[in-house]
Structure 1
């Protein structure tokens, strides 16, 4: 290239992480929080919802189970849309559908309107397919290579924090009044509150959420931009075939599904588990769910930091999974002792490891499948997880009703032990780290040469 009559040497593409990346991440965290709040908002007050709408416990469980059912049905169309249309379109669909679903439920207050609740929950369940698979895509698109695992953990923080609020706030807002009309008033307040919060967030996402930054944050992203292939149905299904043939990914997907499935089942059935041991303890059930998630958030963020420093993805997954199984047994033991303070302690430890596994599992999957599209990888991972979540939730619910909570939690602990063994058999292949190492010299280019 000529400049002022001379050949310009060492012209390199600009590698720069913009400050706006944090604003993009914060917007995502906020609307992911509002979406996942609505996953457990009815199931955590199952007994109250049963009274108001005159429905069975199983019907209330389906307000949460519908989130798990929609994933395997729509994950591949949604993944294609994300890969074809990009990050901004996925963010818009996820956020706007969450707002629409919350708005629908404003009209669900009435003892014969439980079907409207289910319509609203189904719309939000669809929105989550465009939300929960985005953290790894946001991380690699907007952030530096040494920030990816931490940012993925922070993205998952939105999901976890939403679940935490979903456990905490509904029992505080919707009280078990003797007069069912008063319950309806409380439900109305909760539905309007969600709509009021999500509406301005939807406007922010519409006007300020960008597809990608002006400059690539890493040399690996520059290469992906330069070599980006137009996404067609043929290309998309070819990438799916590649993933399905990846035995390491398939083993890991199954073990991840075991952990996520248990997480979903516990979130859905926690109210019933706790009330079987402590009568009239609806608020305690909500607080225990909150503690499980809040302590888990700390575990999730700590895991992301450790992975960025050590890159020990498989080892971290195995140790965390084993500790999940052990702490699940501890939760069962504490419930059998009927000691509330011990249950709070046990569920804190259980939540710490259960939530810590989420970012570790997603990051390990990304390593095993690089350079496959992150959203497609996460979509398949979560679709399998949701299928297993439905199976585990319905199975543990049936065991709980037929044989009792002791046996339901015993089966849960066994599932986690099987997942630990599967993790041990997963090959430790770190393809993304190998790509980062090849390009590390480009990351260290002096600023005056960028």
Structure 2
């Protein structure tokens, strides 16, 4: 009985501290070790979600045979992830700000698990619609997943760790992409027998479902809305603001107000182009690798894996660099122009018919498109502060998904008619436009300025007390 009372009291205390009011000026600042466990849980379920994004498109030729569908229909297993996001991002971002991290984690984690479970029952040539249903559930859960990297970083981590923590959070999405490129092509083989293909597909879905069971339990029992005490002065101010009382109409006003920030609008367009290009290349990678290297499904998966792994390494390096230097715009511009060059190199690597050259060139594509994700998140949060992180990231991702849909649908047809070389040339052209747009984004560091202001106030307060 005493244990229950203590747990109830601790929960009450945490809820009060998560919504600290103006009078709680004496609330101490503290960073908890539990932040790493929270980050690890997020990485695990975000990886499972992004894994499902590429799960079918990377084995498109096998899926087409089993379900007797067209390449365009298989593309929709990925496109749906990009289509649903911009449609529901506004209400989802509102509920995340109002309800907090725990609510978002439960929706994202449980939705990801349900998506995997539904597809276990899709193993029949007439049940491709069940595959699409599962992908629809997963893509809805994805909106709750992808809004969180910067929010987790700021709610749980101290200021000197925020960019690195954001990069580590994005690591989960990138890890899922990496596994999504290589695991399906390893498990699901292009057998002569359709029954054997069906068994492989069922195994793929079962493995993911079983994996998600302990992850969901981890969210339910170990993932609170916020730490008991704030990790920074900025978070203390956020708690005093009490977002749980925010009405939807007021939130919508804040949301629309972000579009009056010219720098953020430019950055959103540029961000959408960069990550949209990466998503389109990932979706169509199987098709244009097979164009130059027939019967190389596993090579397509491995190339996708290397793209994402190199991007994960780049993310961590650039995240650490940002924490040390705070050179957000300079880093963003550098990554963007390097991405243009890497795409051009990949075009000519395909025409060389050298697999080694193709592997190396697409590794650089991964570094400078995939690694752009956490850098772009952090730059956006800097130029929009004090806007809520989940709202800012929600808008960025909405632009990304909308761009990805357009690029994948229209340039997918472009690829069918003109081939992979000119498809990649079109991507290089789009990235060049994005790179130029990025140079016009003002180099504002509002969050850094706010942190310095809090530090100065703290010093003055200490001097007054002395």
Coarse TM-score class (shorter-chain normalised) = over 0.9
1:192 pairs, out of 203, 206, 209, with 206
**What is the Cα deviation at residue 200 of structure 1?**
1.4
**What is the Cα deviation at residue 12 of structure 1?**
4.1
Q: Distance in 2 between matches of 1:18 and 1:339?
A: 50
Which residue is 2:101 aligned to?
Answer: 87
Secondary structure at 2:371 match in 1: helix
Q: Distance in 1 between matches of 2:187 and 2:369?
A: 27
**What is the Cα deviation at residue 227 of structure 1?**
2.7
CA RMSD of aligned residues (A): 1.4
Which residue is 2:92 aligned to?
Answer: 78
Secondary structure at 1:439 match in 2: helix
Give runs of aligned pairs for residues 213-362 of structure 1, distance below 5 A.
213-229=227-243, 230-362=245-377
Q: Distance in 2 between matches of 1:413 and 1:333?
A: 12
CA separation of 1:286 and 1:64: change in aligned 2, threshold 3 A:
same
Which residue is 2:18 aligned to?
Answer: none
Q: Distance in 2 between matches of 1:319 and 1:204?
A: 39
**What is the Cα deviation at residue 395 of structure 1?**
1.9
Q: Distance in 2 between matches of 1:343 and 1:356?
A: 19
1:68 lines up with 2:96 in the alignment: no
Q: Distance in 1 between matches of 2:189 and 2:398?
A: 34
| Structure 1 consecutive aligned stretches of length 4 or more whose deviation exceeds 3 Å | 441-446
**TM-score, structure 2 as length reference:** 0.92
Which residue is 1:142 aligned to?
Answer: 156
Contact 1:72–1:383 (Cα < 8 Å) also in 2? yes
**What is the Cα deviation at residue 237 of structure 1?**
1.0
1:46 lines up with 2:55 in the alignment: no
Q: Distance in 2 between matches of 1:337 and 1:440?
A: 56
Return 5+ residue gaps in structure 2 as ranges.
1-24
CA separation of 1:443 and 1:40: change in aligned 2, threshold 3 A:
farther
Q: Distance in 2 between matches of 1:359 and 1:203?
A: 27
Q: How many residues align?
A: 437
Which residue is 1:437 aligned to?
Answer: 452
2:144 pairs, out of 124, 130, 133, with 130
Which residue is 1:4 aligned to?
Answer: none
Secondary structure at 1:177 match in 2: coil
Which residue is 1:108 aligned to?
Answer: 122
**What is the Cα deviation at residue 164 of structure 1?**
0.1
Contact 1:219–1:439 (Cα < 8 Å) also in 2? yes
Task: Give CA-to-partner distance per residue, 1:186-212, whole Å, 9 cap, x none.
Answer: 001001001000011111101110000
**TM-score, structure 1 as length reference:** 0.95
**What is the Cα deviation at residue 85 of structure 1?**
1.2
1:33 pairs, out of 18, 42, 47, with 47
127-136 or 387-396, which deviates more? 387-396
Q: Distance in 1 between matches of 2:358 and 2:458?
A: 48
Q: Distance in 2 between matches of 1:84 and 1:240?
A: 14
Task: Give CA-to-partner distance per residue, 1:202-253, whole Å, 9 cap, x none.
Answer: 1110111000001110011111112334211122111112101111100100
**What is the Cα deviation at residue 324 of structure 1?**
0.3
Q: Distance in 2 between matches of 1:223 and 1:25?
A: 23
1:368 lines up with 2:386 in the alignment: no
Secondary structure at 2:121 match in 1: helix
2:224 pairs, out of 186, 205, 210, with 210
Q: Distance in 1 between matches of 2:30 and 2:66?
A: 55
**What is the Cα deviation at residue 84 of structure 1?**
1.5
Secondary structure at 2:145 match in 1: coil
Q: Distance in 2 between matches of 1:387 and 1:126?
A: 15
Q: Distance in 1 between matches of 2:220 and 2:351?
A: 50
CA separation of 1:38 and 1:442: change in aligned 2, threshold 3 A:
farther
CA separation of 1:199 and 1:443: change in aligned 2, threshold 3 A:
farther
**What is the Cα deviation at residue 441 of structure 1?**
5.0
CA separation of 1:234 and 1:347: change in aligned 2, threshold 3 A:
same
Give runs of aligned pairs for residues 172-187 of structure 1, distance below 5 A.
172-187=186-201
Q: Distance in 2 between matches of 1:414 and 1:382?
A: 21
Which residue is 1:169 aligned to?
Answer: 183
Which residue is 2:422 aligned to?
Answer: 407
**What is the Cα deviation at residue 440 of structure 1?**
2.5
**What is the Cα deviation at residue 13 of structure 1?**
2.8
Contact 1:15–1:443 (Cα < 8 Å) also in 2? no
Q: Distance in 2 between matches of 1:356 and 1:41?
A: 21
Which residue is 1:7 aligned to?
Answer: none
